[in-house]
Structure 1
Amino acid sequence: MIADGMYPAAAPGRRRAQYMTPKASELLLKDGGLTGLPADTLSRTRTNAFTDARPAGRPHSLPLVVLSPGHAKPRTELTALAEELASRGYVVAAVDHTYENVATSFPDGRVTTCVTCEIDGKGPDWWAKLEKSRAADVSFVLDELIGARPKWKDSGLIDRSRIAMAGHSAGGAATVAAMAADRRLRAGVDLDGSVETILPDAGLSRPFLLLGKPATYTPGKGESAATWERVWARLTGWKRWLLVTGAAHTSFTDLGVLIGQLGLEDGAGIPGPRALDVTRAHVSAFFDRHLRGKPQPLLDKPSAGMPEVTFCDPEKKTCA
């Protein structure tokens, strides 16, 4: 397991961060069957982040958000979301779960591949075990960042009372498991991830946002939606169930944008950049509300500025 960090900077650095390593680009494109593209296509992409920027902020002032990607996908698929949160004053730690990703790059140049991808017959129990394993990874990352001997030299900027998590697909499901296991996580977001973790009878009283696509997560419409309904029933605090019209599974990540730029299709009925704008707006609003105490009308009712988003009531089996 490895994690990359982003944070608000006092000033721009000298060099923009690489999106991923050449080997990771090669393996990810190969996994997607995109062998006709140059192998280093994604490694030649540059982010809006800098590798050598000095952090901005007062001691113990910055909220921390941990991000977990989908199964077989790299932590870089959540780069745009991480950049958005960092630009708003959050420290962000994006986690790669080793051997669960087609290419996990380590600082010493090693690249591990996806062992779990080769396992056949993955049922609910298997996914529940994966979610529990990822929850343990996240707790380890928190220990490394804010424990007795933090590994990041600027960890003193983090406000340890304001920590949260979000994830896509398996990473979103793991957010439920991580919150159930680690009370340091004060709020959580599941982006289009079916959940096999069973919350305890006492439920989870901390804020939670479910944000997904109608094809899979319309209440009462299938097995994946049923997993959200099971989670929803045991969320006893602030909660929302929002769906993005036209979204595909990739729409909540950078992949929706990259697929479009490469001239490919992912089945989405909403442009990748627009879907990413919607995702970033709602996730940022959620964390601003629950980690900073700022009112967020965007989360209270449907918005004229974001007509793609519907609010669901799973008890009534309706979305509007």
Structure 2
Amino acid sequence: MTVTAVAAMMSPATASPPPKRLAVPPPTGHHAVGTAELHLVDETRADPWVPESGPRELVVSMYYPAAVPVGAPRQYLTAREAEILLAANDLPEIPPELLAGTRSSARVGAPPLPRWHGYPLAVLSNGLGMPRATLTGLAEDLASRGYVVAAVGHNYEADGTAFPDGHVTECAACGPGLDHVLLSKVRTADVSFVLNRLTARDSPYALLIDPAKIGLVGQSVGGNAAPLAMLADRRIRAGVNLDGRFWSPLPESGVDRPILLLGRESAHTPTGPDPTWPESWPKLHGWKRWLSVDGAAHTGFTDNIALMDQAGVTKPGTMPGARSMELTRAYVAAFLDLHLRGRPQPLLDGPVATNPEVRFWP
């Protein structure tokens, strides 16, 4: 599902004058957060969506524990990215500069906080049409808890991807007739390429990352790609699917490493409209959990609903974005802490009174 699904969650009739500033909820960990942008070029592959553009290019937003919170705050989106995203979602009532100027917590170029043997790495893969920035809330929170985070900008798969030289690409993969099998293969290759580059000896992050502790968290089509990337790359020890339909079926041999399925109650239950989770569940042979969140929207597992709430354009009845982000952060962090750090997590053992919206299946 593309970012245009956001439009279904919003009602212009309920819109109020936009606020002076939007803000991503601050991270909950005790570390300050640094950030940097990487422009990576895979010379071994032509771009699958726009072959005439040349080799496959990616932009990766890095987040990491910082020694001190110095440097300029990270820009959420460029003005052009915001303009493209809002136009794709038919939201003329939100000024592009308002969305572009969203306040976040990460500081550009802040010095990393060194750690012996490095930190676990969490790779984030956004939904189709969704700029990588829409996972900022999750990325900053994980970094504040002691993770290095790589939010991958899959080129030509988002409504606006800005490169360091200033040029912006649009979504060539979006629209009818999408080949989901090809998309899954592209995502898998992108993730493995990013891992190769981040853990290479000449990488500026080589000493900051523990290569034995890598997790992949995907939303929507990024969630679909998570178990497939795990099958293709044994370095990925644990995977999270945030409300992603399994467009590409898992092989009968299945996946033998830990997987968390976290999605909407309305779609992802054994009797819900999406049969791919029940069909895929028996093929997950390692540690696994299947959780649904009552009232959550598809993009509630990103920053979108939290920001749209602040802008006054969220459809009534949708779970508040701040609460959806709180739950997403808590359960993703618990899962990664359990499987990458070996820390027991009672939150994943069953329902808790403080989170009545979260249901355990099957």
Bin the TM-score by the shorter chain. over 0.9
Match of 2:199 in 1: 146
8 A Cα contact 2:158 2:170, kept in partner: yes
Q: Which runs of 5+ in 2 are unaligned?
A: 1-57
1:135 corresponds, among 170, 188, 193, to: 188
Matches within 5 A, 1:229-268: 229-266=278-315, 268=317
SS at match of 1:196: coil
SS in 1 for 2:360: strand
- Contact preservation (8 Å) 1:22, 1:39: yes
1:195 aligns with 2:246: yes
CA distance in structure 1 between the aligned counterparts of 2:359 and 2:329, rounded to whole angstroms = 16
Question: Corresponding residue for 1:303?
Answer: 352
CA contact (8 A) 2:199 2:205 kept: no
Contact 1:74 1:96 in 2 (8 A): yes
2:100 partner letter: S
User: Which residue is 1:279 aligned to?
Assistant: 328
Aligned partners of 1:214 and 1:303: how far apart in 2?
A: 17
1:266: Cα distance to partner? 4.4
Say what the alpha-carbon RMSD is for the aligned residues.
Answer: 1.3
CA shift, 1:201, in A, is 2.7
Q: In the TM superposition, what is the alpha-carbon distance from 1:238 to its structure 2 partner?
A: 0.4
TM-score (norm 1): 0.92
Instruction: Please list every run of 5 or more consecutive structure 1 residues that lacks an aligned counterpart in the other structure.
Output: 314-320
In structure 1, give the amino acid aligned to 2:182. K
Partners of 1:267 and 1:132 lie apart in 2 by 37
Q: Distance in 2 between matches of 1:69 and 1:50?
A: 22
Report what 1:317 is aligned to: none
SS in 1 for 2:106: strand
CA distance in 1, matches of 2:106, 2:244: 27
In 1, the alpha carbon distance for the partners of 2:212 and 2:351 equals: 30
Q: 4+ runs of 1 displaced by more than 4 Å?
A: none
CA drift at 1:55? 0.6
Q: Distance in 2 between matches of 1:267 and 1:189?
A: 28
1:279 is paired with a residue whose SS is: helix
As a proportion of its length, which structure holds more helix?
A: 1
Partner of 1:107: 164
Is 1:89 paired with 2:146?
Answer: yes
Matched letter for residue 121 of structure 1? G
Task: Name the counterpart of 2:221.
Answer: 170
Would you say the 8 A contact 1:179–1:188 is kept in 2?
Answer: yes
Deviation sequence 1:29-55 (CA, Å, 0-9, x none): 111111233221222112110002111
- 2:181–2:248 CA contact under 8 A, matched in 1: yes
User: 1:284: Cα distance to partner?
Assistant: 0.3
What is the percentage of aligned positions where both structures have the same residue?
49
**1:209 aligns to what?**
260
* d(CA) in 2 for partners of 1:12, 1:261: 26
Are residue 22 (structure 1) and residue 79 (structure 2) matched? yes
Of 255, 270, 275, the match for 1:219: 270
User: 1:176·1:197 contact (CA, 8 Å) conserved in 2?
Assistant: no
Does the aligned pair in 1 maintain the 2:94–2:311 contact within 8 Å?
A: no
Tell me: CA distance 1:99–1:84, structure 2 relative to 1, closer, same or farther (3 Å). Answer: same
Moved more, 35-44 or 228-237: 35-44
> Is the CA contact (8 Å cut-off) linking 2:188 and 2:229 kept in structure 1?
yes
How many residue pairs were aligned? 305
Summarize deviations over 1:12-68 as a string: whole Å, max 9, x none: 113111111111111111111112332212221121100021111324320000001
